[in-house]
Amino acid sequence: MKKVLIFGYGNPGRQDDALGVLLADEMQKWARENNMESIDFDTNYQLNIEDALTISEYDMVIFADASIEQIDHIKLTRVESNQKTEFTMHAMSPDFVLHLCQSLYNKYPETYLLHIKGIEFELEEGLTTNGETNLNLAFDFLVNAFGRSNFPKDILDRHCIEQKGAINAKP
Amino acid sequence: MGQKLTIEPVTRVEGHGKVTIHLDDDNNVVQTRLHIVEFRGFERFIQGRPYWEAPVLVQRLCGICPVSHHLAAAKALDVIVGTGSEGLTPTGEKMRRLMHYGQMFQSHALHFFHLVSPDLLFGINARPEKRNVIEVAKEFKELAVQGVMMRKFGQEIIRATAGKKIHGTGAIPGGINKNLSIEERDFFVKGKDPLNIDKMIEWSQDALNLFKGYHKENRELVDTFAAFPSHHLSIVRKDGALDFYHGVLRAVDAKGDKILHDVDYQNYLDYIGEEVKNWSYMKFPFLKNLGTKNGWYRVGPLARLNTCDFIPSPLAQKEFEEFKAYTNGKPNNMSMHMHWARLIETLHAAEVMRDLLNDTDLQGRDLVTKGKKISEGVGVIEAPRGTLFHHYRIDKNDLISMCNLIVSTTNNNEPMNRAVRHVADAMISGQKSIKEGMLNAVEVAIRAYDPCLSCATHALGKMPLEISLYDKNENLLDLKTN
């Protein structure tokens, strides 16, 4: 059985920065209720070097993070290996983690990043109204994909290409 | 033409910092400043919240070292609930220590293997695209794998003791909310090679040998790079031992004379002040008895090994003796030796974790103690980057009415500024052109302090790299972004 990891990251104490973590939590509840044993879940404040080892043990990885990019709601993109150095190395990007995974463990899981539009990032708990809407869209999107396949690579790839990542409809 | 060169933000340093180097018409350095946008809103945010929420709430401050804030807050609240830091049950204190030493281990490992080793292995003048962990992975794969595993080991220790990786709840006022199960203990003690504590000790020694080998071949660089005399401050155990979790405040000057004599940190405001400067958001702490001009000090690994008398674990103690002998027993004021000190601490953390994991007190069930509540408490801890202060007052309704934090990087504010100036003077002054390697040298000096300035949000698309060049009249000459 092919293994899937859904990895949400962000700070739950900073409003919409929690979006990735909350999506992973919600998906975990759904997976338990539906006996989706091939999906594992992880969360953290940010990605770091040890996550290269973590993702090396999976066939598919879906990272989920809050985004302030110019997107309407949510967007799915394929993560490609990239060693571009960011200005911070206390935290890493998904493409950097994937590159490290490939370099150290010679593994290259099918990797995606779910960008979830966030609005506010202040020192408060709880999502904004729009953040909540975007979380629900992200949840519906993944539930729909995994409802159709335990390993929805084709569905996700097709979506990345046909919709150019933007998600305004179900896959 | 006079110039102001700006490096913004500093690569491989967390947060939003930039360096400005002011040059005169002959390209001589006339002023350097490290500008840091410190996040200060938290102290107001926490006012009005029930005190028992603080150990979890403070983890919102920083996604890089949340355990430090978690434990410092818990220690302050130990005082408020009448337990005091020395009144915890053996299980309570040892679980917290395991959490803290696990954090220290993984943080130091991350810093050395993945932030510093590229500079050591490829040289500070290497191309920027060469100085990163991916290139280390290509050419020194075994080393990179060790770094990943050491970091993972420490993270798993944190998960086992704090309960979870995000917003851990392990430490509570007066104790801890869980012990360590036999299964959890065996995971770390008998774990499948290499993820076990014996291997962590072995790799810590290997890392130390790597640094010492580099030092042997690059003695002049390591010994002179950003070296300058300073005072040093940390907590030490009451008998003078290195202790990351608890102790008394001690400071020594550049010659080794004590200038703060093992005082109770509950009274830290009697000894430490914070100066505000109009060009920086971050305050400048100083020892009050020496004043703002002369009272600045360093904190962190180098300071800790300069203030303590010995290290209470055999392998690290042996390394400590070699470290001290290098400066004839006097304080070590060489910034690059921060890496040496950090690796000795890494080894010590591993030894302490081994001893704690084999201590049956961790399976105890007496987790919390309470005493007579008071309205104010201070918690101090040695975070990976240095001394961290948390100070709270509560009102009659048990709500927090005052919070003051002095974080490790703030304590190192003046030393980091001085390090930048020393490097700039040595490597940039008088030069007709400014090469990438020279700019990186400035960053290397800052990175030695491993500053962490994260406000803990990191949403996608937020982190540009920007370099600006100005003339002496503040006219923008050039701007580059990544």
DSSP single-letter state for residue B114: I
Pick from B68-77, B243-252, B414-423: least confident: B414-423
Nearest to A167 by CA among A94, A115, A110, A95: A115
Tokens 């590229």 belong to B118
pLDDT at B448: 83
Q: Is the pLDDT of residue B465 over 50?
A: no
pLDDT at B170: 94
Asked if B469 contacts A94 with a C-beta cutoff of 8 angstroms, the reply is: no
| CATH classification at residue A98 | 3.40.50.1450
| Token code pair at residue A78 | 């394929």
Nearest to A153 by CA among A123, A110, A121, A124: A110
Asked if B357 contacts B98 with a C-beta cutoff of 8 angstroms, the reply is: yes
* Cβ within 8 Å, pair B114-A49: yes
- CB-CB: which of A11, A69, A86 is closest to B457? A11
Asked if B254 contacts B362 with a C-beta cutoff of 8 angstroms, the reply is: no
% of chain B surpassing 70 pLDDT: 85
Nearest to B322 by CA among B230, B216, B424, B448: B216
* Cβ within 8 Å, pair A53-B149: yes
CB atoms near residue A24 (< 10 Å): 23
Q: Is the pLDDT of residue B150 over 60?
A: yes
Q: How far apart are CA A115 and CA A167, in angstroms?
A: 10
Contacts of A71 (CB under 8 A, 6+ apart): A115, A117, A166
Q: Which amino acid belongs to residue B435?
A: K
The boundaries of the domain holding residue A8 are 4-167
Peptide bond before B194: cis, by omega within 30 degrees of 0?
Answer: yes
φ/ψ region of A132 (left if φ > 0, alpha if ψ in -120 to 50, else beta) reads alpha
* Cβ within 8 Å, pair A90-B454: yes
Residues of A in contact with B57 (CB under 8 A): 13
Pick from A1-5, B236-240, B407-411: least confident: B407-411
Q: How far apart are CA B141 and CA B149, in angstroms?
A: 12
Residues of A in contact with B133 (CB under 8 A): 49, 89, 100
Q: Over the Cα atoms of chain B, what is R_g? A: 22
* Cβ within 8 Å, pair A17-B129: no
CB atoms near residue B239 (< 10 Å): 12
* Cβ within 8 Å, pair B64-A52: no
Residues of A in contact with B167 (CB under 8 A): 12-13
Nearest to B379 by CA among B371, B390, B388, B387: B390
pLDDT at B60: 73
Q: Which amino acid belongs to residue B305?
A: L
pLDDT at A90: 56
- Give me the domains of chain B, ranges plus CATH numbers: 3-37+416-481 (no CATH), 42-411 (1.10.645.10)
Residues of A in contact with B148 (CB under 8 A): 49-50, 52-53, 100, 104
Q: Give the number of domains in chain A.
A: 1
* Cβ within 8 Å, pair A103-B128: no
Q: How far apart are CA A101 and CA B294, in angstroms?
A: 48
Q: Is the pLDDT of residue B43 over 90?
A: no
Highest mean pLDDT among B7-21, B394-408, B466-480: B394-408
Pick from A12-26, A130-144, B38-52: least confident: B38-52
Q: Which of A14, A85, A98, A113 to mutate to test the interface with B (most CBs of B within 10 A)?
A: A85
pLDDT in tens, B191-235: 887 889 999 999 999 999 999 999 999 999 899 988 999 999 999
Nearest to B63 by CA among A44, A64, A139: A44
Handedness of CA B263, B264, B270, B276 (dihedral sign): positive
Name the minimum distance, in Å, from the CA of B195 to any CA of chain A. Answer: 12
| Token code pair at residue B116 | 């510093």
Handedness of CA B305, B310, B315, B319 (dihedral sign): positive
Q: How many CA atoms lie within 13 A of B408 on its CB side?
A: 30
Q: How far apart are CA B126 and CA B130, in angstroms?
A: 6
Q: How far apart are CA B126 and CA B118, in angstroms?
A: 9
pLDDT at A2: 94
The mean pLDDT of B140-150, rounded to a whole number, is: 92
Which runs of consecutive H residues, i.e. helices, occur in chain A? 19-33, 50-56, 94-105, 129-148, 153-162
pLDDT at A139: 98
Q: Could you tell me the pTM of the whole model?
A: 0.89
pLDDT at A165: 57
Q: Is the pLDDT of residue B471 over 80?
A: no
Q: How many CB pairs under 8 A join A and B?
A: 139
Highest mean pLDDT among A8-12, B30-34, B383-387: B383-387
The mean pLDDT of B394-403, rounded to a whole number, is: 96
pLDDT in tens, B298-318: 999 999 999 999 999 999 999
Peptide bond before B9: cis, by omega within 30 degrees of 0?
Answer: yes
Q: How far apart are CA B54 and CA B388, in angstroms?
A: 15
* Cβ within 8 Å, pair B133-A89: yes
pLDDT in tens, B422-446: 877 887 776 656 666 666 777 788 8
CA closest to B452 among chain A residues: A90
Q: Mean of the per-residue pLDDT values for chain B?
A: 86
- CB-CB: which of B12, B110, B141 is closest to A49? B110
Q: Is the pLDDT of residue B461 over 50?
A: no
pLDDT at B466: 41
